[in-house]
Structure formats: C-alpha cells, structure tokens
Amino acid sequence: MRPAIGHQATGVRPSREFALPTAASPERASLTSGSNRKPQFSLSLEEPNVPTTVLARSRTSVYGGYLFIATSALCWGISASLGRAAFTGRLLPGSGIARIDPLILSQARTGFSFLVILIALLATRGAKPFRLPRKDLGLLFFLGIAGVAASNYFYYLAIQRTNVATAIIVQYTAPVWVLVYMVARKRERLTIAKLASVATAITGIALVIGIVQRGGFELDLVGLMAALMAAFSFSYYNVGGHAILTRYDRWTVLLFTTMAASLFWIMVNPPTKIAAAHYSLAAWIFLAGFSFLSVLLPFVFYFAGLERLEPTQAIIVSCLEPVFTILIAAFALQEVVHPMQWLGIAMVLSAIIVVQRPATGEPAHAIVEPVD
C-alpha cells in the first residue's frame, strides 16, 4: 500500500556516483515528502544512510518506470532468443550447450545471480543486509519461492503438458489478476483505461505468439492449471515486490528472493543431477552469462520500475517481453513475422500508451523515491 504524503526528510543525500556503499542498515527509513527532487536510477550497490523521500508522482519518474520495465522486458526477450539459439544448435555448435536441460537452465540462472549478488553485497556492506526482522525475512523468502521460482517452474510444466502458445497466453492473464486484486484491496482505481489496456495487451499477446497460425490452444488440465499458477505467481511478485520495495532497496530484495529461489531449485533438482550431466566449460560459461542477462540485470530494472509504477502499470508494460522476443528472432534468427503478429505488437504498444495516461480527475499518487 502506498504511504501517505507526510513530512520533509532531513539530512544530506549520498553521492550518486558508483562508489562503495556504507554499511548502513538496508531497511528504508521512515517515508517522508516535501522534496521536489526527481528520483534517479543507478546500478550502484551504494546503500543510503539518510531517510528516503515520498513525493508526488512526477512525469519524469513515471516515464522512467516505464523505461525500466521495458528494458527488463528487452533483456528477457534477448535471453529467450539466446536460449532458443542455444537449444537449436545455432549458438556455439559442438559446445554441448544444446544438451542443457531447460530446468537446469532455470535453476542455474537463479543460482548464479544469487552468488553474484551475495559476493557483491558481502564485499560492500558486510553482514548488514542479513540483519532483518524474521517477519520480513519470511516475506522475502515467500516472494522468492511463490513469486520468482514458482512462476518459472509452473511455466515450464505448462509447456511440457501443453504448448508454448498456451503457456504464454495463460501466464499473461496476470495483468487481469493484478488489476482485480489491486481494485479489490482499494489500492488502485478501476478505470476504463486500465480495463481497455489489460484486454488489449492480452489480445495482442495472443496474436504475437501466433495462436491464429499455430492452431490455438492445446488443452490439458494439468498443463492449464500449471499455466494459471504461473500467472498467479507472476502477479504475486508484481504486487508483493511493489510492497516490499517501499521498505528495502532493490539489492536487498534481490538477495533474498534469489536465495529463496535457489534453495527451491536445489530441492527440485539436487546438485548431484547437475554434476551427473557433465556439462562442458563452454556450457557453464554460457549458463553464467545467461544468468546475468535473464535474471540479474532484468530484475534490477524491473524492481526499479516497480518503485515508480503501480503494479497494474508495470505488469502491462512487461507484456513487451513476447513482442521483443518475436522481433529479435525476426532480425537475429531470420524468423518470419506474420501480419497478425504485427497487429498484436501494435495492440501491446497501444495498451502501454493507454495505461500510462492518467484518468480525468484521478489524484496524483505518492511514490517512494528509489534507494540507490
């Protein structure tokens, strides 16, 4: 729930330069407002040592949020095309990359990302990020398992039991569930623009993934339920991530969500199975690079976007992911984009344009100035 506009913070703002952070507590200080400063974004691990500021949402901040979500979608689109090229033998043929199991790919990208964040934060903040209240640790772990890990697990299960088109279109009903939840909890207003954006985005995705050309859905009860669970998980990490980011910076959230997701995957697929696969050095290098492009970098941008946008806005913009995937495959892999797919792309873009326009008479929302 967005904090109300309150009082002016005091203190000197830390440097925005890429510098080693202080060992200040990762928990956000009390939320305040009254500042006209515009929030900025940095990939620095620097942790703030002054209170954050709550300010009326500015156009610059909101447009920045859309840019960050779109960038994360672009990263996921690139990684999807990269994964496809690897599995079809077009990328480094003979290196053994094509033998990598999709489940191990999902597990490795989460595990590598966790290790990078862990080492970076230990080197720059020490043990401070780990000193969180038990309740908040539980929330972060639940977000990592029920949000990040579960969405990947159920998505791959849905693909296994149905087909890619069914899995994607059902998972991307997530904007509907986010909107329903936010309106039911009275955290967002139900507007015609939001309803139209959600419906247009989902229809656009159906056209982008080629349901018309590929014969539509392939129904299987287990697969359909798995795809629906993937949608719920995707919805949850948008809503839950937005809430927890009002209290902790994105690096702390990433640390514990990737830790939880990594532990989940270890239980699903023990390390002994991975060792038994005997992957080549080139395959491991690919997995490490793929983890950066498909998890670490996009989630940094995605959480930065969630700090600036409402969950419904963020998840509608995330519908750009299959759009980017199709376009990248067309340019890099010479795959054909059909007219109906171009129509779908236009619909997704239209949905984003519509949802970012404020409704008449709708008050400005308070946002938490991102902690960098």
DSSP secondary structure, 102-151, as one string: HHHHHHHHHHHHHHHHHHHHHHHHTTGGG---HHHHHHHHHIIIIIIIHH
Q: How many domains does the chain have?
A: 1
- What's the pLDDT at 371? 35
Mean pLDDT by 10 residues, the chain (372 residues): 37 36 41 41 46 51 89 88 73 72 82 93 86 90 92 82 74 86 86 87 83 61 86 90 88 93 90 82 86 90 90 88 83 78 87 70 43 34
CA dist 347 and 207 (Å) reads 9
- What's the pLDDT at 120? 92
Distance of alpha carbon 253 from its chain centroid, rounded?
Answer: 12
Q: Tell me whether residue 118 is in a domain.
A: yes
pTM: 0.73
Q: Tell me whether residue 117 is in a domain.
A: yes
Could you tell me which residues are beta bridge partners of residue 50? none
Q: Tell me whether residue 45 is in a domain.
A: no
Is residue 344 classed exposed, middle or buried when 0-12, 13-18 and 19+ CB atoms within 10 A define those classes? buried
Q: Which of 341, 311, 312 is nearest to 325 (CA)?
A: 341
- What's the pLDDT at 370? 36
- What's the pLDDT at 212? 61
Q: Tell me whether residue 94 is in a domain.
A: yes
Q: Tell me whether residue 88 is in a domain.
A: yes
Q: Which residues span the domain enclosing 169?
A: 54-368
- DSSP classification of residue 99: G
Cβ-proximal residues to 323 (8 Å cutoff; 6+ apart), any chain: 73, 77, 204, 208, 344, 345, 348, 349
Cβ-proximal residues to 187 (8 Å cutoff; 6+ apart), any chain: 1, 2, 310
Q: Tell me whether residue 9 is in a domain.
A: no
Q: Give me the numbers of helices (H) and strands (E) for the chain, helices first please.
A: 16, 2
Q: Tell me whether residue 248 is in a domain.
A: yes
240 phi/psi in degrees, rounded to 5: -65, -40
Q: Residue 41 to residues 23, 306, 314, 328: CA-CA distances in angstroms? A: 20, 12, 17, 26
For residue 91, the tally of other CB atoms under 10 A from its CB is: 16
CA dist 240 and 369 (Å) reads 18
Q: Tell me whether residue 28 is in a domain.
A: no
CA dist 20 and 121 (Å) reads 10
Element (H, E) at 19: none
